[in-house]
Structures are given as C-alpha cells and as structure tokens.
Structure 1
Amino acid sequence: RLVCFIYSESAKLKRYGETMGSGSTFTEVSGKQMKKMSLHIPNINEQAKIGNMLKILDQTITLHEEKKRQLERLKSALLKKMFADKSGYPAVRFNGFCDEWKKQKLGDIVETITDYVAAGSFASLRENVIYRSEPCYAQLIRTADLKSNFSKIAPVYVDKQAFDFLYRVSLDKESVILPNIGNCGEVYYVDPHELPYMRNVLGPNAILIRSSSLNNHFLSILFQSHNFQKSLKLVISPNGQTKFNKTELKRIKMVLPMDVNEQNSLSAFFKMINTAISLQEHKSNILKELKSSLLQNMFI
C-alpha cells in the first residue's frame, strides 16, 4: 500500500490524468478511469525497500522544515526582546551595553533614501531605460529577484546608458531595500559582492536605504523588528494596493543604539540566525529535488 501511495506521486499518474481527464481547467481522473490504468508493480520485498527508503526521505524533509519553522519563531521572539520600544531599553541585551537607545526620525540618521523614479520623470525613464532579456551592461534588480534569491524568474538587464541614468539606485554598496508598492513590510539586505551580476541597479516599486555611519545590515534587522513594522503600517495606504512613499518613510521615528559596537553585535547575531534558517531551507530543497528525481527514475 505504501508503494502505491508513493507511486501516485510519480509523473506517470499526472500524465495519465492529463490524457484521460475531463478536459476542464483542472486535471481530474475518475475512479473508473483509474481502474483502467496499467501499473508496473515490483514484488513485495522490493516494494518494502522502496517504501521504507522514501518514507525516511519524507521524514527527513519534514525534520528540516520543522527546524526552519523553529528558527523563524526564535528569530521573531528575539526581534521583540532585543530591540527597544519607547522605553529606550531592550528587554534582552548583550553584556557590556547599557546605554539608552535614542529615538530619531529615519530621515535624520540615514543619508540615502531614494528610489527608481528619483532619476527623472516617467517620460525620461521611458526614453533612457529599456529593459533587455539578454545579458547586457548591468542587471536590473527587482524585489521579486531578491525574494526568490534570483531563481525561478527570468532576469532583466539594462545597457550602459540606462545604468548611468539610474546612478542614484546603483547597488555598488551595501544597501537595504524596502518594497513600497505591494509586499510592503518585506526587508532585503543587499551585499553587492553576493549579487550574481557585476553591475546592478534597483528596479521600480522599491526604496533604497543606505548609511555611511550606521551598520547597514543592522538597519535591515531593525526594519524587521516589531516596533518598526508597526510604525510602517501606520503610513501604508489602506486603500487599494498597499503603498507608501519616501517622504512618509523618512518621518518614521526609530529607537536604535548609537553605539556602533552594539549595532555590530546585533548584526552578527542575526546573521548567524539567518544563516541557520537558510541552511535548513537549502537542505529541505535538496531533499525535495532528490525525491522528485527518484520518483521519476525508480518507477517504470
């Protein structure tokens, strides 16, 4: 019975459903049609071995997914405890730090808050920026690219003229990216050395934030904290598509440590947690790919 269940996940059943299905939008197969489907079934001993192997594989995938969920819950709890509220003092803190965190407007502590449309009018953007599907001078980085870690969607490129025109949103230095039209609340830290292309510029519907005096990775973690997310929701338009603009973002008041050493400590700590989360996700994805390959190759 176990092998029959595993076999039902194989590509053959899907192909059979597409061939024999009702022709509706959804692929569906009736019980009578399934009775007519021919199967190649191994002897009971081989069934047991295949079933046990794939059962262990499923259990391992579930284990890594659960570890990832636990780490995400831990991160969420720490974002509440390790970032100060209006009191100016976090509930949990590293040894050696005791100074009060300061409340300041984001626009007063960050030198660069800009976006794609800062380059000029929509007419000048249409004239100077042409999207290309083939590799060109630079890559246009969209929030969808960052969300998918540059997989599953086709990249977009621009020529040198467009790259120079969009110099304000060049991703040649560490930056924090906030989507400001749709997906508001997401936060992406960008290290230029980790991008897949040599030259990169930020695409539309996102705001680029960069500081020369603060730890930019720390800022990306601060933007994920519950206090900042709560403040951001207050400036997001509640009607229609969610959005906010640069001016509204600059006015948000933030509570943060002015001691760069404390910023660095928090940055390193959350980098470690993010790495652990990514590792569990990577292991899970590899095992899922392995399972898919086995289902294709271990059944006739």
Structure 2
Amino acid sequence: MSKDVKNVPALRFKGYSDAWEKRKLGETNSYFTDGNYGESYPKESELSDKENGVPFLRGSNLRNGELIEDNANYITKEKHAELTSGHLVEDDIVLAVRGSLGALGYVKEENIDWNINSQLAVIRTDKSELSGKFLAQFLLSWRGQKELLSRNTGTALKQLPIKQLKDVPVPIVNLDEQKEISALFTSIDNLIAATQDKIDALEQAKRALLQRLFDQSWRFKGYSDPWEKRKLGETNSYFTDGNYGESYPKESELSDKENGVPFLRGSNLRNGELIEDNANYITKEKHAELTSGHLVEDDIVLAVRGSLGALGYVKEENIDWNINSQLAVIRTDKSELSGKFLAQFLLSWRGQKELLSRNTGTALKQLPIKQLKDVPVPIVNLDEQKEISALFTSIDNLIAATQSRLSSLELLKKALLQDLFI
C-alpha cells in the first residue's frame, strides 16, 4: 500500500500538528458502486410519482454538497427493492460521474434508502479510517475538485469511471481531527440552510402580499376608492426595445466589464432585479450611439423575447446601462404611475398572467410592444402607490440583505475549505 505524507494544512484546530497522510481512494477500505444497472435499469413503466415512489437521483439533484429532491425522478418501490446496490446509507457520498462532473451530495438521515441513476456513483467509507462527511468536504474543496476533474475521460461526454475515481488522492487524518473539521462544516452548512430557508420564506411572503394587494383584498388604512384599470398604451408611458437595426453591436463592438457598459439580456433579469452577473458589455462608444436603450432610474426592463415575464426595476446603480434585442423598457409618467409600483404589479400573479397571455409566436415566444401596450394595469392614488412601493422596497431590502449574508457564509465556507485542505 503506497503512502505519501502531505504538508501540514494552513489552518488547524488546536491540539493537532501531525502531518496528514495522503492515500489513493482505492487504497482505503471504501466501497464503490454506480447506477449502471445493466438490463435491470428502470423502464418507463417502472417509474412512479413522488407519493408512491422512491427518489431516483440524477446529476441535477446534487447541489452544493446536498441531495436536493426538487425535480427528482421516482421509481416504484418494487423496482427500488430490486436495485439494492444503489440504496443510500447515511454518511454515503453521491458523486456525478457522468454529465455534471464534480457535483456531489452528502447523504443525511432524511436521504436514507433513496436510489441513483446511471449518472451517479456512491462512495461508502470505512468509518474506522475515513468519515464520509470529512471526505465529502475534501472533495468539495478546490483541491478535491481539481483532483476529480483532472481524471475525467471522454470527449463529447465527460465521464469519471470508478477506476479513475479510485486513483484520487485523499487525506487520511486522525479521526478526532476529522470529527472537529466535519462538525465545523456541519455548523456552517446548517447556517447556510437556515439562511436559504429565510430567503425562501421572505419570497413566499412577498408573493402572498403581491396577490393580496393587487386583487385589493388587502388595503392600507385610509384608502377605499376602487382602482381604475387602464391599458398600458393608454397611459403616458414611453416604450422602447433593444432592436437597434443595422446599428446592433457587432462582435468588434463588445467589451469587458472594466472598460464597457452592461448590455443586458434576459438572464440578467431575476426576481425584479437587474443582475450584472454574466452580463455582456459593449464599448462606451457603441453605448453612446444606442441612446434609446440607456436606462433611467425607475425604468422597468422587461423580457419580450425568450424568458417572457422576467423583469428588472432600474435602481440608481443601474442608471445608463443598455439592453439587447431580447428586452424592452417601460418608462412611466410619474404624475400618474410610479415605475416601482408598476413593476410590483407586473411581478404579481395577476400581472404575470396578463403579460404571458399576450405572447405571440410558436417556436420563439415573443411579447411585441403592441401587445405589451394592451396589458391592463391599475391606476391608483399616488399616495397609495407610494405606500405599496415602500412596503415592497422594505421586503426587497430584507431579501437582499439576507442574500448578502448567504453569499458571505458561502464565501467563508469556500475559504475554510481551501485553508483546511491546502
């Protein structure tokens, strides 16, 4: 059995100073299996629903070291009983060995006896030498991911055969130190999960408020007049889109973040916000030419091709960004309709229904400005608009602050993974 001594990590718990041993996974007493069940692989008739079946996991069910049941497939209990090699046990590691390589999930009590499809493999460690939780955290670290991904095979379809997986070097560490490290990451993971739950609860509360306030079943005290309904095209709003004709940016007129101007597309609209992540950029000279797409505070940016219904509200930090051909801008007349108020209406169940019911096209759904102008919107006392907008601004700020905390926790975990597994 080959052994290789590893340098001491940059960060250690007090009381531990011995250098870590490095050993190939295949040289440990771990058990390996995958979801290639041969002729026994589930047929369509052996699939089931959530209520009557057993989760049959695929790569998309592995996220940030967790097993996520959302959008899982299910197999019948009879088929699950037949495929015994894929039954999950607490402290197992489920790893994507086809498709989304590097993704993995740690098996907790609530995941026991789920099953895996052909994209996945299971590592079950010998607890007398290596904790599954500790190994999972190592494989999530920068070093662990590098070791996994460097061993993939194939060209069009990347794979990580068990033979290659067994060749991955892993740290073999004093069991007490493994427990301390695992406990630390369990605490951080619990904080991350609780923070995500808070975000989900806030977003659910916002959806409920949007429905109640825009069907007028709830009103702020002091307001009782019925709301007027008017088509968007009958308001004094301004409309434009990113179809710039022959002036549309060529590849040579694209830029980078440091030197360019954000050139937004549908994927940059998320939950009513403009998100710069993965934005394209155009040169400042091209931006100066495409004046109709310059964003102004309180504008609404709306997807009119592709991801219909998505929209973003323009805040101070988004001023003077630009839009591509998937998007359109609505700029309201503030003496009758606040952009913030209109954005919240369009995010509500009723607003989304009005938008999506007016799409045209078959293969590529579109919402031409002509149809957009036909959407009925509430025209409300300006003071009531302000009250409603202020409420949602408070909720949005709380969601953003919680999102920021979540990002900080994830960065902390990433930094700790790097320092503990250097």
8 Å contact 1:128–1:165 — kept in the other structure?
no
Task: After TM superposition, list the pairs within 5 Å mapping 1:236-275 onto structure 2.
Answer: 236-237=359-360, 239-254=362-377, 256-275=378-397
Distance 1:154 1:248 in 2: 28
Partner of 1:87: none
The count of aligned residue pairs is 284
Q: CA RMSD in A?
A: 2.5
Q: Which residue in the other structure is 2:67 paired with? A: none
Contact 2:262 2:279 in 1 (8 A): no
1:203-222 to 2 correspondences below 5 Å:
203-212=324-333, 213=335, 214-222=337-345
Distance 2:278 2:352 in 1: 28
Question: SS where residue 235 of structure 1 aligns?
Answer: coil
Pick from 23, 38, 62: which aligns with 2:193?
62
Aligned residues of 2:260 and 2:282 also touching (Cα < 8 A): no
The AA in structure 1 aligned to 2:198 is K
Q: Deviations over 1:188-247 (max 9, x none)?
A: 1002x212xx74333322111111222111111011111121111221125111211111
Q: Give the greater-gyration-radius structure (CA).
A: 2
Match of 2:62 in 1: none
Match for residue 178 of structure 2 among 37, 42, 47: 47
1:28 equivalent in structure 2: 160
Task: Output the CA distance in 2 between the equivalents of 1:128 and 1:28.
Answer: 40
Q: Which structure has the highest strand share of the two?
A: 2
Report the residue type matching 2:338 in the other structure: N
Q: Which runs of 5+ in 1 are unaligned?
A: 85-89
Q: State the shift of 1:165 in Å.
A: 4.1
SS for the counterpart of 1:54 is helix
Counterpart mapping for 1:79-228 below 5 A: 79-84=210-215, 90-117=216-243, 122-123=245-246, 125-126=247-248, 131-134=253-256, 139-147=262-270, 149-159=275-285, 162-191=286-315, 193-195=316-318, 199-212=320-333, 213=335, 214-228=337-351
Identify the match of residue 230 of structure 1 among 353, 358, 374. 353
Whole-angstrom CA distance in 1 between matches of 2:289 and 2:141 = 50
The one-letter amino acid of 1:100's match is P
* Structure 2 unaligned blocks of 5 or more: 1-130
Q: Whose RCO is larger (CA < 8 A, sep 6+)? A: 1
Which piece of structure 1 moves more, 96-105 or 39-48?
39-48
Percent of aligned pairs with the same amino acid: 24
How far 1:144 moved relative to its partner?
Answer: 3.6
Per the normalisation by structure 1, the TM-score is: 0.85
SS of corresponding position for 2:398: helix
* Higher share in helix: 1
Per-residue deviation, 1:56: 0.2
Give me the whole-angstrom Cα distance separating, in 1, the residues matched to 2:249 and 2:322.
17
SS at match of 1:207: strand
Question: When the two structures are superposed, what TM-score results if normalisation uses the length of structure 2?
Answer: 0.62
1:280 alignment counterpart: 402
Q: How far off its partner does 1:126 sit? A: 4.6
- Which residue type is aligned with residue 151 of structure 1? D
